[in-house]
Chains A and B, each alone.
Chain A
Amino acid sequence: MTDQTPVLSFRGINTHYGAVHILKDVDIDIYAGEMVSLLGGNASGKTTTLKTILGYVQPTTGEVLLDGVSVNDWSTADRVAHGVSMVPENRRLFKRMTVRENLEIGAYLRSGEDLSTDFDRVFDLFPRVKERLGQKAGTLSGGEQQMVAMGRALMARPKVLLMDEPSMGLAPVLVAQNFEIIERINKAGTTVFVVEQNANMALSIADRGYVLQTGRIVLADTAQALLQNPQMREAYLGEV
């Protein structure tokens, strides 16, 4: 895969919140069709990484590249239009809107176009969502909300789907189900970048993984290798 241009990459990214140095010389490459996990504990810089991809946070040095083009001075809207879409942490649906409105607004940048094929794709992945279309998103159960949140992100027809802690706040059964769906989305051709604390689960379906520790990438390898790595097992997989 190395001869391709990565869909998304970080080149020597450093970010600061005021005087606090968050991301330190971070390099990440994600290639088309891959499923990549970013692992790390609390305050390791995972969320900042996602914010930098979407342009909420500007790097102090380094470049964010989409398909090899530097997007540092692109607005968030431009990056989304280019095909980056996020499922936020804790789902954050528009709780007061109906499920249908949530999905429609996911395709905001393509307003006015025919969305029926996109709806069908979402219903195909999540048959439950179709039954709940008229219901207010805030009244859904946690598992259903996760489905709608993923559906909302997919409505934008992303090339790269970013997922912020998809296992957060869900029962273990649902977490497993969730990752199955992520895997299906990935198999269907969408590149997926998952940010997770649940390293075991994330690595079980990923192709490759990065491990972030206090803002620095300390490990980068295939998922298989990471699962075998003794250092990794000790720190993140709960084994001694």
Chain B
Amino acid sequence: MIDMRRTFRFGLLAGGAMAFLGGIGMIESFNERTLIDPILRMGDLFLYGTLFVIAYIAARGEINILEEPDYRAAETTATGAAVGFVATMVTVVYALLITAVDVVEFFPNMDEAMVESLTFEQGAPIGLALLGLASVIVGAVGGWLVSTADGLKQSISKVVGWVLGFALLEVVVTDIVESRDVSRLIYSPNGGLRLWSVAVIAVLVVYLSRRYSGRLTSFAAEVSNADSKSRLRRGVIAFLVFAAIVLPMLLGGILNELMINVSLFVLMGLGLNIVVGLAGLLDLGYVAFFAVGAYGTAVLTSPLSPTFSPQLNWWVALPIVFVLAAIAGLLVGTPVIRMRGDYLAIVTLGFGEIVRILLLSDWLTPLFGGSQGIRRIPGVDVPFLGEVGGTRPEFFVYLTLIFVLIAGYISYRAQNSRIGRAWAAMREDEDVAEAIGISTVSAKLLAFVTGAIIASFAGALFSAKVGAVFTNSFDVLVSIIILVVVIVGGMGSISGVIVGAFVLIGVLGGPKSPGLLAEFAEFKLLFYGAILVFMMLKRPEGLLPSVRRSRELHQDEMSQDAWLEKGGDFTADDAEGATT
């Protein structure tokens, strides 16, 4: 039975989503990038990809755990096609409206060019018909996929995943290959995969996954079940460290540059993770400590530092910068020590802005250069290599990796030590933690100071890499993005922060730097928001959560499961519980 209402609703949703993506100019701008020459452009991928996913969900119907679903291909295909049809209707009406009424003044992207981008550059009647045809086909395929066997579904999704991966990461592949001739074999000169390389990838993926997938999944299960001290687990960690050492040698300049950006955010993420994830103090002004690290290094090392210019070596400046950051941590921490939750967040948000505005102020301009910033910051002196700065990313990346290792080690030790337990207790119930003898004042200050010092690692590296600091690198958006990295990765989890930084900063791009998908730059914040909403709904514990956090967030479900396991009977214990 096809649920007409549901189908119609999802069709409207898909049409609305397509209209929205067009309206913000995303399709138009993404279509400049070809993914598979000549059949698929990036804008079309997003346009029809959205429709595809919505059609799939519509055809899958309500999920009922108790019943084994029974899908008929004809039914699901029809549902998918219907979703596609309704979506087309919405889009067609929208496109016609835009052609008829001039709204460019209010929505700068809603012009003829946008309609063109939605209609394969064909314009009204023919293009709209093409759009409708494509939508119905994509919807039908999405619906049909629901009814297919699991094995086929997996093969299809693997092939699609790998092909899209290769297409989207064209820059990476060509950067690694480093030979123009080889990359020309895979990619067309217009950009995008050649059709025959798509075929080769598909065949390879199907063949390899048939052969090896069983072994791979059992290995992955073994690794995740192994306890933290086992040899297997250590082997995996050793492999990752080895990969981190070898990888930069294989990567070209662009990717190493990107690795550095990601590492800087990993560093700041690790620092903020201590403050927010472990100690539970919501700090929205964390960028202030990054600024202290960056400006501290700039003043101490640059010959162009306006007033005070000792021109120290970076390594000599580093410990001084740590001390400055620690003092900044105390300065921010002390007044807010008695504040909790929302109040703390607001006050720290204010502190972050105060630091930026002070740097810009007339009062401190003689020291920090105001809006002129401080330039000509030297790189880092490394034995045998000389000065390593932003112009030599293939070496600089190792410097950042070393600091990531140090910060990771500090986080790991802090988490599993006495202070880590104190933070966990304080996060849950500050009063009781105090009554147990935990000095919450020093626990909080320690969290702020540790976080500040780790952020100053990032600041010092940032100065040496960029060679100049300006106040606009330290606005509130940076604080927010670091927080998003921590939340998406998984609060309280070290590996989570690393994954979060790779996904957000590496793929989508950081506040001032593009990621792997440079096209996203303009729509980065939209995707950040979308990812954040999706995560909060579907996976609030983050991508790679810490054991403790996921236990905290899924407490109710778990206790219910335990209850069901017991057979669901109402025992005396539960009766006691009910009295509380």
Confirm or deny: A138 has a beta carbon within 8 angstroms of a beta carbon on chain B.
yes
Q: In the bound complex, what is the Cα–Cα distance between A143 and B562 (angstroms)?
A: 19
Minimum Cβ distance to chain A for residue B81 (Å): 48
Q: In the bound complex, what is the Cα–Cα distance between A140 and B432 (angstroms)?
A: 18
Minimum Cβ distance to chain A for residue B197 (Å): 50
CB interface residues, B 525-542, toward A, < 8 Å: none
Asked whether, in the complex, the Cβ of A104 is within 8 Å of the Cβ of B439, the reply is: no
Asked whether, in the complex, the Cβ of B432 is within 8 Å of the Cβ of A170, the reply is: no
Confirm or deny: B434 has a beta carbon within 8 angstroms of a beta carbon on chain A.
yes
- Total chain B interface residues with beta-carbon distance under 8 A: 30
Residue of B nearest to A81 (CB): B437
Measured between beta carbons, the chain A residues less than 8 angstroms from B418 are 108, 111-112
How many residue pairs link A and B with beta carbons under 8 A? The number is 96
Q: In the bound complex, what is the Cα–Cα distance between A139 and B552 (angstroms)?
A: 12
Measured between beta carbons, the chain B residues less than 8 angstroms from A111 are 418, 421
Residue of B nearest to A162 (CB): B435
CB within 8 Å for A88 and B435 given contacts A142-B577, A142-B580: yes
Bitwise interface map of A from 43 to 85 toward B, beta carbon under 8 Å scored 1, else 0: 0000000000010100000000000000000011100110001
Asked whether, in the complex, the Cβ of B552 is within 8 Å of the Cβ of A77, the reply is: no
Asked whether, in the complex, the Cβ of A80 is within 8 Å of the Cβ of B425, the reply is: no
Residue of B nearest to A94 (CB): B428
Confirm or deny: B392 has a beta carbon within 8 angstroms of a beta carbon on chain A.
no
Confirm or deny: B436 has a beta carbon within 8 angstroms of a beta carbon on chain A.
yes
Q: In the bound complex, what is the Cα–Cα distance between A34 and B574 (angstroms)?
A: 35
Q: In the bound complex, what is the Cα–Cα distance between A97 and B433 (angstroms)?
A: 13
Q: In the bound complex, what is the Cα–Cα distance between A14 and B276 (angstroms)?
A: 38
Measured between beta carbons, the chain B residues less than 8 angstroms from A136 are 551, 555, 558-559
Asked whether, in the complex, the Cβ of B580 is within 8 Å of the Cβ of A88, the reply is: no
Confirm or deny: A185 has a beta carbon within 8 angstroms of a beta carbon on chain B.
no
Q: In the bound complex, what is the Cα–Cα distance between A94 and B434 (angstroms)?
A: 13
Confirm or deny: B548 has a beta carbon within 8 angstroms of a beta carbon on chain A.
yes
Confirm or deny: B422 has a beta carbon within 8 angstroms of a beta carbon on chain A.
yes
Measured between beta carbons, the chain A residues less than 8 angstroms from B432 are 88, 92, 94
Asked whether, in the complex, the Cβ of A174 is within 8 Å of the Cβ of B576, the reply is: yes
- Total chain A interface residues with beta-carbon distance under 8 A: 39
CB within 8 Å for A96 and B438 given contacts A104-B421, A108-B421, A139-B562: no
CB within 8 Å for A76 and B559 given contacts A169-B580, A174-B576: no
Confirm or deny: B429 has a beta carbon within 8 angstroms of a beta carbon on chain A.
yes
Minimum Cβ distance to chain A for residue B399 (Å): 36
Measured between beta carbons, the chain A residues less than 8 angstroms from B437 are 76-77, 80-81, 108-109, 156
Measured between beta carbons, the chain A residues less than 8 angstroms from B578 are 142
Asked whether, in the complex, the Cβ of A108 is within 8 Å of the Cβ of B436, the reply is: yes
Measured between beta carbons, the chain A residues less than 8 angstroms from B551 are 96, 136
Q: In the bound complex, what is the Cα–Cα distance between A80 and B437 (angstroms)?
A: 5
Confirm or deny: B349 has a beta carbon within 8 angstroms of a beta carbon on chain A.
no
Asked whether, in the complex, the Cβ of B439 is within 8 Å of the Cβ of A92, the reply is: no
Residue of B nearest to A82 (CB): B437
Confirm or deny: B522 has a beta carbon within 8 angstroms of a beta carbon on chain A.
no
Confirm or deny: B569 has a beta carbon within 8 angstroms of a beta carbon on chain A.
no
Asked whether, in the complex, the Cβ of B552 is within 8 Å of the Cβ of A56, the reply is: no
Confirm or deny: A86 has a beta carbon within 8 angstroms of a beta carbon on chain B.
yes
Asked whether, in the complex, the Cβ of A142 is within 8 Å of the Cβ of B579, the reply is: yes
Asked whether, in the complex, the Cβ of B555 is within 8 Å of the Cβ of A92, the reply is: no
Confirm or deny: B573 has a beta carbon within 8 angstroms of a beta carbon on chain A.
yes
Asked whether, in the complex, the Cβ of A56 is within 8 Å of the Cβ of B434, the reply is: yes
Confirm or deny: B431 has a beta carbon within 8 angstroms of a beta carbon on chain A.
yes
Confirm or deny: B424 has a beta carbon within 8 angstroms of a beta carbon on chain A.
yes
CB within 8 Å for A105 and B425 given contacts A77-B437, A88-B431: yes
Measured between beta carbons, the chain B residues less than 8 angstroms from A144 are 573, 576
Asked whether, in the complex, the Cβ of B579 is within 8 Å of the Cβ of A139, the reply is: no
Minimum Cβ distance to chain A for residue B360 (Å): 40
Among candidates B424, B428, B439, B577, residue contacting A140 with C-beta atoms closer than 8 Å: B577
CB interface residues, B 401-453, toward A, < 8 Å: 418, 421-422, 424-425, 428-429, 431-432, 434-439
Confirm or deny: A116 has a beta carbon within 8 angstroms of a beta carbon on chain B.
no
Measured between beta carbons, the chain B residues less than 8 angstroms from A97 are 424-425, 428
Query: 16 new A-B pairs (CB below 8 Å) besides A85-B435, A90-B580, A109-B436?
Result: A76-B435, A77-B437, A77-B439, A80-B436, A92-B431, A96-B552, A97-B424, A105-B425, A108-B425, A136-B555, A136-B559, A141-B575, A144-B573, A144-B576, A156-B437, A171-B579
Contact surface of A with B, Cβ cutoff 8 Å: 54, 56, 75-77, 80-81, 85-86, 88, 90, 92, 94-97, 101, 104-106, 108-109, 111-112, 136, 138-145, 152, 156, 169-171, 174
What are 23 A-B interface contacts by the 8 Å CB criterion?
Answer: A56-B434, A76-B434, A76-B435, A76-B437, A77-B437, A85-B435, A92-B431, A94-B428, A95-B428, A95-B555, A96-B548, A101-B421, A105-B421, A108-B422, A108-B437, A139-B559, A142-B579, A144-B573, A152-B436, A156-B437, A170-B579, A171-B576, A174-B579
5 closest residue pairs by CB, A with B: A80-B437, A142-B580, A141-B577, A141-B576, A139-B559
